[in-house]
Amino acid sequence: MQHRNTVEFVVYGNYALFSDPITRIGGEKFSYQIPTYQALKGVLESVYWKPTLIWYIDEARVMKRIQTQSKGMRPIKYTSPENDLAYYTYLKDVCYQVRAHFEWNEHRPELAHDRNEHKHHNIAKRMIERGGRRDIFLGTRECQGYVEPCVFGEGKGFYDGCGKLNFGVMVHGFDYPDETGKDEMSVRLWKSARLENGYIRFPAPNDDSPVILTRFIKPMKAKVFEDEAGFSGLNEPEFRALLGESGDEA
């Protein structure tokens, strides 16, 4: 389903690390074979975001072959300032087409005056054309990503016509109090993650899908924003200069 405020882009990079949390217990990291919903949402939030809205990832398309590369690392030990030895297994040479849309954050009534769909949609598209407002990372800080506009579904993907590939249980994303209205943080698990002819069709985090499991993590309070306090957002002079706007509609 395509929404009125849909955006489409391609994100790519030399490496990606969408860590399976099970592999991190011993200090090492091993990437999922496909990106998580939360990782792609984070990419889009780095491109453009305000607390007025929530991004929803509708689907993604894997354009290149899934391949991995392990690197020897020397992370800091948890119990001392000494270095440890570990292997991190990254995805190598990745490229994904992404389709997403935004909805208003109804748990931010103090920002209701900023709910201008046309404005936010057009700014988001311009930020995609410029490669994003902030640095793009593919799962983790050391995996630099790059964003460009695209037409979702165009071009040849490596897994076109390959049928279904199942990946079992994956982390889907996190529920934060400012998006749910609850004073808690929880994690969502996707019970039947799969790739179908190269496409990943994500269940929405708010549709009570039977393939989504939710687990409580810890109590948490949402940050409070005021009209001109807590963030400057679109009123930043540097951002206005980038857009070539005067700043009278933020």
pLDDT single digits (tens) 91-140: 999 999 999 999 999 998 888 999 999 999 999 999 999 999 999 999 99
* DSSP E strands, 128-242: 136-137, 144-149, 164-175, 184-196, 199-201, 212-219
Classify residue 202: in a domain, yes or no.
Answer: yes
Classify residue 193: in a domain, yes or no.
Answer: yes
The pTM score is 0.86
Classify residue 31: in a domain, yes or no.
Answer: yes
For residue 143, give the nearest of 39, 232, 223, 10 by alpha carbon.
39
In this prediction, residues 71-77 reach a mean pLDDT of 87
DSSP annotation of 110? G
Q: Is the pLDDT of residue 29 over 90?
A: yes
Query: What CATH number does the domain containing 127 carry?
Result: 3.30.70.2660
Give the per-residue pLDDT at 98. 98
The count of C-alpha atoms lying within 13 angstroms of the C-alpha of 192, restricted to the half-sphere facing its C-beta, is 7
Which residues form the domain of 227? 7-243
- For 156-209, the pLDDT digits (tens) are 999 999 999 999 999 999 999 999 999 999 999 999 899 999 999 999 998 677
Count: domains in the chain: 1
Give the per-residue pLDDT at 232. 57
Q: Is the pLDDT of residue 42 over 50?
A: yes
Classify residue 59: in a domain, yes or no.
Answer: yes
Classify residue 250: in a domain, yes or no.
Answer: no
Residue 102 CA to residue 83 CA, distance in Å, equals 43
Classify residue 249: in a domain, yes or no.
Answer: no
